[in-house]
Structure 1
Amino acid sequence: MKAIVLLLDSVNRHYLSAYGASGIATPNLDRLAEKSAIFTNHWSGSLPCMPARRDMMTGRLGFLERNWGPIEPFDHTLPQILRDNGVFSHIATDHYHYFRVGGENYCQQFDTWDFIRGQELDSWVSRVSQPEKPEQIGKFMPQYALNRTQFHSEEDYSSPKTIQSALNWLEDNREEDNYLLWVEAFDPHEPFDLPDSELDDYEDDYEGPSYYWPEYGQVNVPDDALKHIRKRYAALLTMTDRSVGKLLDVMDRRGMWDDTLLIFTSDHGYLLGEHDFMAKNIMPAYNEIAHIPLMVHLPGSKHAGKRIDALTQNIDVFPTLLEHFGVDISCARNKLHGKSWLPLIRGEAAAIRDCALYGYFGKNVNVTDGEYTYFRASSQEDNSPINLYTAMPTTIGHYYGLNHIIDPSRIEIGPFLKWTDFPVYKIPGDNVQMKDQTQSFHVNSTFIREHLLFHNIDDYGQNHPIHDKEAEQRMLELLRKALEDHDSPDEQYLRLGLE
């Protein structure tokens, strides 16, 4: 048995032809869609990048317990279980967060890994003197300015090199069986950097200052720059799609469609001016961010073209792969929140959950039943009570150490989590630095202080909150049940006013 997971970061579902988009060239993802079951009601879980990956590798939602962080020592991961059952795993990635503080132990779960350098703030090109900011708008990051000096043609960029790394691995292992190949490209995540020629097909006529890296927050650029950055995103998605095509070509040549499961999804989407916001993280987790693509190809192209409306999430990657490889789910030491997609594809089940729960640690907790979506904000002005539980006190780019104004006397240690007896640090939420190094926002942002209810069918763009007490009460009950099912710490009920 063979399986490939193709994970592209920040793919907007509404930019893909398989989900009704037009004007965006993704011919190779279209090819994949023709050979796959297409899931129409697929949702993120923990947000953003690294929390989403921990979800996938553990089969559990983590955002109720902690923020961006590493694989914990008590996590029983998918690659571990596969290895114990005779299945080899390899990851090819340019997602540099795996190799920063706060991203420990992910790639090391796999039997082997290949890391392609140069994305975003990857400490790759080394110069003592830092470059000066040129005339441009948006973010300027000196390290990336150095990295991009090495990008001259499409083949030099790190995501195309990542796909090529995966192809090299397939060539080296062309006679092998019983493996999982995890192919993970950072693009089309920002910065939306690519050869200028890639913009030709999108008739870009922008003449303003250089703009390839949006700032997170409310839109703060002129209309022509906003139009330009949308075209840069689309062009980068098209360039990434071209690399995906090389992977599909290999599957064509070797007849791998007959014996390989292939999963394509993303971790989250990305706002490009919708709701007057750019990017993610500081605003509610609107559909553009949380409603993501999923295509699953079964060996032999069984059920190709089938559209599945059942609610699914990325925590389901784990049990789906276990079932594909014939590994009993009882091998997982920790209770899984995910459910296999295979019964849905085969028509043996109409649903695997009655709602999808998703969000960021310490922010709104969001729930959808497919028809309605409810954003539940903290009921407390100070966003309390909230605790961070971890056995590895690191987060994006730094440790929770003395240099980050933390009071050690307020930290407790003990078996505080409901689902594991492993002792963890219990750190009060107001005792940790909740900002990363590049984004000056706090978890208690003014943009996420309201409870919001939307009707997904009548208002998919979520532009018109509704006031329906009966529907809100029903979503509250779903939320309470979902918190219980996902082993939520008790203080979340208090924080959300659900006690």
Structure 2
Amino acid sequence: MKVLLLSIDSLRRDFLSAYQDTPTVLDYEVNTPNLDWFAEKATVFEQNYAGSLPCMPARREWHTGIQEFLWRPWGPIEPFDDTLPQLARKQGILTKLITDHYHYFQHGSHGYYEDYNGFEFIRGHETDAWKTTPQHPNGRLLDQTTNARTDPPDSVQFMNRVQYARNIANFDETDEEDFFAAKVFSRTADWIAENQEWDDWFCFVDSFDVHEPFHCPEPYASMYTDEDPRDASLPTWPYYGRVDEGQSELSDREIDFVKSQFAGKVTMVDHWLGTVFDTLTELSAWDDTMVIVTSDHGYMLGEHGWIAKNIMPIYDAIANTPLFVWHPESVRNDDRVSSLTSAVDIYATILSALGVSVPDQTHSQSFLPLLEGKATNHREWALYGMWGSSVNVADGQYTYMRPCNPDEPTYCYSTTMMDAWGYFTPTEPKQDVESGRFLPYTDTPVWRFEGPSFEQHDDIKLYDTDADPEQSTNLAGNHPAEQQMEDLLADALQVLKAPENQFERLGLTPPEAK
């Protein structure tokens, strides 16, 4: 079996025709003919939820089957992890990573690409530390990606965004082949063609698009707006936060423009993804290739007054992610699955498809039985969140968001002592630490040290996503499902053997203590 996993970073469901019942922030349709075609061919999963957020925590779930946000934030592969490419290689299966997702190559994110037989890194996206010239890049591009109101030229924010302008200084904004989606998916198509003699392979294609900055070449930049996309006053790289205040403040006109550039990127990604699908067709490779298309999370575009991700409540626009799966032997192709699935399940599903045993001590459950027609249900709950903040659970009808006590610490458990919030920069080793066998999924001793909690919201949130898919009416306070969902969250934490501190900071009673 050959398995192709395609991640499209930040892709929202409501921009895809396959999820046309999803409430949308748009008053126009986004052109995605290739994903539309694939959705008709494959199985569409309607209730797939993210897990550990954001970027690298999601990738540890995919690579190791560990739902890490209860124990650890952004960090490296651990020595005790059984990574998907490593397990596949031990069975003689060729493994490959193709990506422009530069976080794999930053401090604190090591261990992910090293287990592949080969990897290719397309340089230059976002703040990838690549180019150092020109010293003074395109002023108009800087105006569109920085905030003159809040960013002094010597600030870290400004310098980070200058990096992107330097990286793409030689790009032709009328030539889409200069841009990242074109490079990532063209290289993927070539690699598939070059490696067809292998009976078994696993290829992970991790496209950083449609992630910000939402800087598009033509024709995509003008496709969904009447504005001049090169108007220096219109932003292509919003700041995370409230749209009505502070650094992230945006007018209605600016929000509409951001939506149009996000949509343009979606269409660009779709176009170049089509080259991969075309290659599979030309090689008659669909008969022995499993293809999975998904995303790590979505991105808020003004809903509930928020832009971007991470710091706000984790609404379904972020958490309920697209998932399409083609399996040559599936009885559910050209069908839809309403069963609840979670991002962490991709690990066990791919290993099972490759004929590789799934390690016992993981949180991943293969949904291959759904595709084979051997099961109709998969999960009772899907847990998701960011380390140090609220913990959320979905049961397929309700979403429940439980805030944390910001005065109660969160503990980090890791074999490294990196600062839990120093994602990208080296930090001083921790002094106030203890070691022990704290993790339920390994006997390896790790360091345990204290970190902060932070509020994404200060109230319990409960939504009936069947009746209220926009999550506009918070039912918490007087709804009979509230206790049911609180109990479900507590049960899920117990099943995962979450640290006792998680119950304390969430104000929950462990089920065995009731």
TM-score with structure 2 length normalisation? 0.89
1:272-328 alpha-carbon deviations (Å, 9 max, x no partner): 111111100000100000000000001167432210000001111111112111222
Q: Distance in 2 between matches of 1:233 and 1:359?
A: 24
1:492 to 483, 495, 502: 502
- Residue 29 of structure 2 corresponds to 23
- Residue 476 of structure 1 corresponds to 486
1:469 Cα deviation from its structure 2 partner? 4.5
Q: Distance in 1 between matches of 2:331 and 2:379?
A: 23
Aligned residues: 476
Q: Gaps (5+ residues) in structure 2? A: 23-27, 147-157, 244-248, 510-514
2:197 to 163, 168, 175: 175
1:252-287 alpha-carbon deviations (Å, 9 max, x no partner): 101111111001100000001111111000001000
Contact 2:99/2:207, CA 8 A, preserved across alignment: yes
Q: Gaps (5+ residues) in structure 1? A: 403-407, 431-442
1:90 Cα deviation from its structure 2 partner? 0.3
Residue 171 (structure 2) pairs with residue 151 (structure 1): yes
1:349 to 350, 375, 381: 375
- Spell out structure 1 runs of 4+ moving beyond 6 A: none
- Residue 399 of structure 1 corresponds to 426
Q: Distance in 2 between matches of 1:52 and 1:381?
A: 24
Q: Secondary structure at the match of 1:399?
A: coil
1:267 to 296, 309, 313: 296
1:298 to 313, 327, 334: 327
Residue 464 (structure 2) pairs with residue 417 (structure 1): no
1:371-390 alpha-carbon deviations (Å, 9 max, x no partner): 11110011x341x1310111
Letter paired with 2:90: D
Q: Secondary structure at the match of 1:205?
A: coil
**Shift in CA distance, 421/300, structure 1 to aligned 2, threshold 3 Å:** closer
Contact 2:44/2:337, CA 8 A, preserved across alignment: yes
Contact 2:234/2:254, CA 8 A, preserved across alignment: no
Residue 220 (structure 2) pairs with residue 198 (structure 1): yes
1:226 Cα deviation from its structure 2 partner? 0.9
Letter paired with 1:194: C
**Shift in CA distance, 128/11, structure 1 to aligned 2, threshold 3 Å:** closer
**Shift in CA distance, 132/234, structure 1 to aligned 2, threshold 3 Å:** closer
Letter paired with 1:364: S
Q: Distance in 2 between matches of 1:49 and 1:193?
A: 20
1:353-392 matches, within 5 Å, as: 353-378=379-404, 380-382=405-407, 384-392=408-416
- Residue 253 of structure 1 corresponds to 282
Q: Distance in 2 between matches of 1:304 and 1:46?
A: 28
- Residue 469 of structure 2 corresponds to 460
Q: Distance in 1 between matches of 2:441 and 2:329?
A: 38
Contact 1:362/1:386, CA 8 A, preserved across alignment: yes
Contact 2:60/2:68, CA 8 A, preserved across alignment: yes
- Residue 281 of structure 1 corresponds to 310
1:487 Cα deviation from its structure 2 partner? 2.6
- Residue 9 of structure 2 corresponds to 9
1:161 Cα deviation from its structure 2 partner? 0.6
Contact 1:204/1:231, CA 8 A, preserved across alignment: no
Residue 133 (structure 2) pairs with residue 136 (structure 1): no
What CA RMSD, in Å, does the superposition of the two structures yield over aligned residues?
1.8
Q: Distance in 1 between matches of 2:486 and 2:298?
A: 25
Q: Distance in 2 between matches of 1:346 and 1:305?
A: 13
- Residue 150 of structure 2 corresponds to none
Letter paired with 2:472: N
1:132 Cα deviation from its structure 2 partner? 8.1
- Residue 57 of structure 1 corresponds to 63
